Amino acid sequence: MDHYVDIISIFAENKPGKLEKITEVLAKENINILGFSIVSVKDFGVIKFLVDMPEKAYKKFKEAGFTVAKIPAIGIELEDRPGGLHEILKLISSKNINVENALVYVAETRKKAYFVFEVEDLEKTWEKLKDEKVKFLKSSDFIKNEF
């Protein structure tokens, strides 16, 4: 579905050099990172990327032996002004949606950015949000021709 975008998640132990090994995969394959987040608990973490070639990234991480998952998420456009993110979050919380993880994708510096977030029940969340007067991020907005 075009209104969902895929986030690549990688399981990583907290070890020096780990992050570098991960970004190396993307760099080598010419995959551009559009946004990322790192959640870390003591001994391990989960690193998440929004990339311009998600299928390829997923495949390459798998091949390189990483523990990787592809998670659909929803992206909403933010206005790049004070209170922009706050308004989107206000909307999300007013719908009683719990954000499990999020990252920001700056599409055009100082002009256009997206709040991209994961939720427990994607379908339900989409139903709650789809008629809102906001712009959703579509895969076709950023995905490059893969392979």
* Number of residues engaging other proteins in binding (CB under 8 A): 22
Would you count residue 121 as binding other proteins (CB under 8 A)? no
CA dist., res. 114 & res. 76, Å (int): 5
Residue 106 is a binding residue for other proteins (CB under 8 A): no
| Least distance from other proteins to the Cβ atom of residue 94, Å | 23
CA distance 99 to 18: 27
Is residue 69 helix, strand or coil?
strand
**Under rule CB under 8 A, residue 46 binds other proteins:** yes
- Largest pairwise CA distance in the chain: 45
For the CB of residue 11, give the shortest distance to other proteins in the complex, in Å.
Answer: 5
**In what helix (H) or strand (E) does residue 131 lie, and over which residues does it extend?**
none
Across 2-147, where does the E strand assignment appear? 5-13, 33-41, 44-51, 67-79, 99-108, 112-119
Under rule CB under 8 A, residue 100 binds other proteins: yes
Q: Which stretch binds other proteins (CB under 8 A): 20-28, 39-47, 79-87, 127-135?
A: 39-47
Q: Within 10 A of 37 (CB to CB), how many other CB atoms are there?
A: 18
Exactly one of 16, 20, 41, 133 binds other proteins (CB under 8 A); that residue is 41
Q: Does 124 bind other proteins (CB under 8 A)?
A: no
**Residues at the interface with other proteins (CB under 8 A):** 7, 9, 11-13, 39, 41, 43-46, 48, 65-71, 100-101, 118
